[in-house]
Amino acid sequence: MARINTNIAGLIARANLARSNENLDTRLQRLATGLRINRGADDPAGLIVSERLRSELKGLEQGIKNSERASNVIATTEGALAEVSELLNSIKALVIEAANTGAVSPEEIAANQLQIDSAIDSITRISNTASFAGLKLLNGSLAYSLSGIDTTNLVKTQVFGASFGDRDSVTVDVEVVGSAQTAMLFMRSDFSSGGGTDGVLPSTVTIEIAGPNGVQEVTFISGTTIDDIITAVNDFSSVTGIEAARNNPSDVSSGIVFNSVEYGSEMFVSVNRLSGGSSLVFAKLLNDAPGPIDWSATSTYTPAETDEGRDVDVLVNGALATGRGLQVAVRTPDLDLSLLLSESFGTTISGTPESFVITGGGSKFQLGPQVTGLQQINVGIESIAATRLGGAYVTLPGGGQELQFLSSLKSGGDNALVNGRLDNASEILETAIDEISVIRGRLGALERNVLQTNIRSLQASLENITASESAIRDADFALETSELTRAQVLTQAGTAVLATANANAQTVLQLLG
């Protein structure tokens, strides 16, 4: 039947033409933008996933930039430290030259002192001026802030890294669980039991005394008192690293103790009889007892001619630290520090820890795409000014020891060349050189093993996540161009069909004649 009020064919043609036009618009939009998903309606689930991936990509890109910037900061710092290292080496050469007094005049030594003053001033200047984009690097502004340190127990404290997490501060507990010891050998002097006189050698003896610094041979004739032996041993203590004293200061029959000047497992003492003295008895304590010796308690010692020292054993926040003499180092994911213990604290097991607090400071590097402690590293760089560098225990002229720094080598300082304490100056310099080397090594390890590997890891993640995001969101041009051709054909065909459907209604006019 022929009806003109409704054009069903036209409606069908128009609906299909609209869909074809919509499809054509979609293909044109995707080809124009290069994206398969331009709005949520294109792929709701795909949009959610791709937006999350895009967010992660931004974090990865910034993490790479942060790591590269951190590497630049470290490179700048290391360059300044390299100059300080050269200055320290030049100072060392000047100190060694000044020790050659048989061939160097006082005027030359004075000239060397001027060079040392200039070099030390340059080190302090580098400490104050080394910077990166306005960030001071070596003046202590990147060091950790510490409070509550009892310097009578913890003589020197260096914090290289501390993780605060959600805490405002970090409490550090230091407890000695194993005392540091010097190497100790004991010689009996109760010669009356053999018909002699207590404290007086019954026969001539030649002995070799060896220690960490060197060896000395010495002969003591019959009748020499133990006090004379002690004086002779102490006179060449700088040569051997060994000193002597009475086992009991008030009793000449108590014997002599030969001990290393320093503490630690690297220290040793050896007393070897080369000739004579067959009646002399040397012994060491068992079970690392600290002394003095009780000659009546035969189960506590054993005959010996050598003994070694012992490193301190320390718990730092429950973690067993590495000891080297009185020096302690601990490195955990949350804490990285070095401590120099006092002699009294490092040789006493009291059961009571010494505590201090890290209240803040340090430098934080954000290396990952998320702001979490697991994707951050914390580094402390202490000041390298001459008043902070090279802190070492040195022996004072009147006896005793004191912590002194590189600044003491300047004119007017305790260890200036004109004062003749070149052994102290050399020890401070060695400590300063070691400190700079350790800082450079730590920063180098951080750059090589953390930053560079982090950059490579993030770049790999960036590549893979970019590929994943592209697979979800980017348009496939081969597919889209074929779909565009199809949409164009359908649009043209739909237009022609709609025109035909509209023209069909005119055929009813033929029925009117």
pTM, two decimals, is 0.78
DSSP letters of 167-234? -S-EEEEEEEEE--B--EEEE---GGGGTS-TTB-SS-EEEEEE-SS-EEEEEE-TT-BHHHHHHHHH
405 Cβ neighbours under 8 A, 6+ residues apart: 386, 387, 388, 389, 390, 391, 428
Indicate the helix (H) or strand (E) that contains 458. helix 452-473
Among residues 497, 502, 495, the alpha carbon closest in space to that of 6 is found at 502
Q: List the domain boundaries for the chain.
A: 8-34+475-512, 184-308
Q: How far apart are CA 241 and CA 238, in angstroms?
A: 5
Rounded to whole angstroms, the Cα distance separating 188 from 257 reads 9
- 513 residues of the chain, pLDDT tens digit each: 566 777 777 788 788 878 888 877 777 877 877 778 777 777 788 888 888 888 888 999 999 999 999 999 999 999 999 999 999 999 999 999 998 888 888 899 999 999 999 999 999 999 999 999 888 999 988 899 999 999 899 999 999 888 887 888 999 999 999 999 999 999 999 998 878 899 999 999 999 999 999 999 999 999 999 999 999 999 999 899 999 999 999 999 999 999 999 999 999 999 999 998 888 999 999 987 887 899 989 999 999 999 999 999 999 998 899 889 999 999 888 889 999 999 999 999 988 899 999 998 888 888 888 887 778 888 888 899 999 998 888 877 776 778 889 999 999 888 998 888 888 899 999 999 999 999 999 899 999 999 999 999 999 999 998 888 888 887 877 887 887 788 788 888 888 887 887 777 777 677 775
End-to-end CA distance of the chain: 17
